[in-house]
Amino acid sequence: MNKKAQFAESKLANLILTLMAIGILFGGIYLMIEKGQETATIYTCRNSVLLKSQADLEIGGVKITEKATPLICKTEDLQTLTGTRDEIKYQIADAAAKCWYQYAEGKIPDLFKAKEDQKKCGICYYFKIDGVKEEKIAETTIISEPKGRQKNNISKNELYNYLMLNEYNPGLVYGGGTKRIIGQIYEGNFKFDITTTVGEVDLREIDTIPGGGYISDYTGYMDQEDKKEYKNKINKMGNELLIKDKAQLLITIADEIEDLSRSKTNEIIDRLNLNTDEHSLNAILLIVDLENEEVRLHLGVNLEPYMTEQEIKTFLKENFEDQEKLEVALLNTIEKIYSRLNKNNQEEEILKRGVLPKSYYMYMLNDGNFPLIISDIEPGRTYAISYSGTTDEISFFKDFFNELFSFNLEWAPSQIGDVTYDSWWDWLTQNGKITNPNNLIISKSNEITKYCEEMK
C-alpha cells in the first residue's frame, strides 16, 4: 500500500473514531437533559462499553473499534452513606447493580485487553460509612452471620444475604419504571426458499395461542408433511417448559408483518398473557417476518439470568444467518433456549438454597462467576465498587484470591454447593466454573487499586 493510501486510511479511521465518540457524548448530553446527570453518566459508559465490544469495523485490515475505541466511564465518589442499616445496604447494592449495568452485565469478553503489567478492571464508585445502628438480623439468611460481629460494621456475609434476599429489577437502574420484557431484532439476509401468498399480517390480529401447539404459522409452511417432525419437536419442548413452569412459548411466522416494533411485540405478550402473572415473567415470543428478512425474540425478564438483552441479536444471527431451512433455524433456536432453561447450572444450584430468582445477586451472576465481597464494611475506611474484565483470568484471579482471600474463606464453597472444597480457588477452578472472567467486586479501596484503575 502506498503512503497516500495509508494516510487516507489513517485519516478515515480517526474520523470514524471521532464520530463514534461524538455520538456517545451527544447521547449522554441528551440523557442528562432528560433523566439527569447520574443517568447520563451510566448510559454514556455503557454505550462506550458496547461500542468497544464491536470488532467488525476494519480499516486496512485493522479492527479499529476493537483496538482504539475509548471507554467513556467515570469513577464517582459517593462520599459517606447514611441511614438505617438496611438503607445503607440498599445504597451499596444499588451502586453495585449500576456498576454491573454500566459494564453490560459482564457479557463483553476481554474488555480491558490487559497485558501482564496493566490494570485489569475499572473502579465505578468509592464510598464510606460512619457506622450503622445495631438492628435485629433478619431471620431468613442464606449465609450464617459470623459470631462476635462488630455492631458498627456491615459484615460481608450480611451484605451477601442482602444481595441474595432482596429483589432487584434491572429496569430501575436507569431511572425508568419496572422492566418486564427484554428483546432484540435481527435483520439479516435469509436464504429460505419459501413461496407464500398470505400477504401482510398485523400483529394486532394475533389474539389467541394456537390450539395444540406453540407455532402460529400464517404461511402454512410448517404444516407441510416434511416439516411436521420439526414442528412436533418444538411443540414438545414448549409443553415441557410450560408443565415445568419454566416458560410459555409462542412462535409466529408470517410472509410479512406490518409493524415488527418492540412495542407491538410487547403488546402481544401482554394481550396473550404469555407472562403468566406479575411474578412469572417467563414469556418466549419469537416472530419471523420472511418478506423483510427480520426475526425478533422477546423474553420475560425472569429469563434474563439465562440470556441477557445484549446477547439476543447475536444469538439470533448465529441461528438464522446462512441457514437455508426455516424449520432448522426455528428448531435450533428453541433447542438452545430450552437447553439453557433446563441445564442444572450454577443458577439452579444457588436458587435451591433460597436465593430469590430476581435478587441483586442473581442479576450480577455471570457464567460461573459471582459478585465478590472481599471484606466487612467498617466505619472510616474507603471502599471501592469495581468491575473486572480480562481474558487473563487465571493469573489475575489466582493472584487476586491468593493476596486478598488467603485461600481461607470458610463459608461459600461448602454452603453454596453440595461438595465441600478446601478453598474458593478450588471451587472456582474445578469443573470449569470459571467460564467468563468478568466480576463485580466490593473491596477496600487500597486492596483493589493494584488491579483496577480510576476511570476519568
Last residue of a domain, one of 41, 68, 95: 68
Same domain, 314 and 332: yes
pTM: 0.64
Residue 394 shares a structural domain with residue 262: no
Distances (CA, A) of 320 to 203, 267, 311, 405, 423: 22, 24, 14, 45, 43
> In this structure, are 58 and 81 located in the same domain?
no
The verdict on residue 48 lying in a domain is: yes
Q: Is the pLDDT at 365 greater than 60, yes or no?
A: yes
CA 152 centroid distance within chain? 34
Whether residue 279 is predicted with pLDDT greater than 70 in this model: the reply is no
Q: Are residues 307 and 363 in the same domain?
A: no
Q: What is the CATH number of the domain that holds 201?
A: 3.10.310.50
Of 110-124, 296-310, 367-381, least confident by mean pLDDT is 110-124
Show the cell assigned to 342: 433446563
Looking at the structure, do residues 252 and 336 belong to the same domain, yes or no? yes
Domain count, the chain: 3
Distance CA 335, CA 342 (A): 10
- Give the residue numbers spanning the domain of 91: 77-168+359-454
401 vs 204, higher pLDDT: 204
Q: What is the pLDDT of residue 417?
A: 47
Cα–Cα distance, 69 to 57 (Å, whole number): 11
3-state secondary structure of 151: coil
200 alpha-carbon distance from chain centroid: 34
Per DSSP bridges, beta strands 181-187 and 121-129 are unpaired
- Please indicate, yes or no, whether residues 122 and 232 belong to a single structural domain of this protein: no
Cα pseudo-dihedral 336, 339, 343, 348, rounded to 10: 80
User: Is residue 256 included in any domain, yes or no?
Assistant: yes
List, for residues 104-158, the tens digit of each pLDDT value: 888 777 777 655 555 678 899 999 998 776 666 566 677 777 666 667 888 888 8
* pLDDT band per the 50, 70, 90 thresholds, residue 34: very low
Shared domain for 199 and 334, answered yes or no, is yes
What is the Cα–Cα distance from 160 to 438, expressed in whole angstroms? 18
Q: Are residues 325 and 208 in the same domain?
A: yes
Alpha helices by DSSP H, 244-374: 262-271, 309-320, 326-342, 346-352, 360-363
11-20, 268-277, 328-337: the lowest-pLDDT one: 11-20
Residues 191 and 149 occupy one common structural domain: no
pLDDT range class, residue 419, cuts 50, 70, 90: low
* E strand residue ranges, 169-214: 181-187, 200-201
Which is more confident, 347 or 430?
347
Q: Does 348 fall in a domain?
A: no
Strands 372-373 and 283-289 come out as: unpaired
Most confidently modeled range among 200-209, 286-295, 369-378, 401-410: 286-295
pLDDT at 382: 94
**Which of 48, 68, 88 is the endpoint of a domain?**
68
Q: Quick check: is 349 in a domain?
A: no
Mean pLDDT of 8-32: 48
The string of pLDDT tens digits covering residues 241-276 is 988 888 899 999 988 888 888 888 888 888 888 886
Please tell me the distance from the alpha carbon of residue 218 to that of residue 289, in angstroms, as a whole number.
10
Inform me whether the pLDDT recorded for 236 exceeds 70: yes
- 264 and 320, same structural domain? yes
Q: What is the mean pLDDT of residues 380-396?
A: 73
User: Does some domain include residue 110?
Assistant: yes
Other residues' Cβ atoms within 10 Å of the Cβ of residue 450: 12
- Angle 201-206-210 from CA coordinates, rounded to 5°: 115
User: 408 vs 90, which has greater pLDDT?
Assistant: 90
Provide the pairing of β-strand 62-63 with 294-300: unpaired
Do 30 and 142 share a domain, yes or no? no
pLDDT of 232 above 60:
yes
Per the model's pLDDT, the better-predicted residue between 38 and 421 turns out to be: 38
For residue 207, being part of any structural domain is answered with yes
Matching residue, cell 445496604: 89
* Selected residue with higher pLDDT from 315 and 23: 315
Percent of the chain with pLDDT over 90: 21
Contact 385, 123 (CB under 8 A): yes
Is the model's pLDDT at 223 over the cut of 50?
Answer: yes
* Residue 199 pLDDT > 90: no
- Residue 350 domain-assigned? no
Average pLDDT, the chain: 74
Would residue 201 count as lying in a domain? yes
pLDDT tens for each residue of 144-196: 776 666 678 888 888 988 998 998 866 545 444 456 788 888 888 888 877 76
What pLDDT does 375 receive?
81
Residue whose cell numbers read 503489567: 117
Average pLDDT over residues 11-27: 49
pLDDT at 440 over 90: no
Q: CA distances (Å), 413 to each of 362, 363, 372, 418, 420, in order?
A: 17, 20, 13, 9, 6
Q: Per-residue confidence at 65, pLDDT binned at 50, 70, 90?
A: very low
Of 278, 309, 342, the last residue of a domain is 342
Whether 199 and 337 share a structural domain: yes
* Better-scored residue on pLDDT, 450 or 263: 263
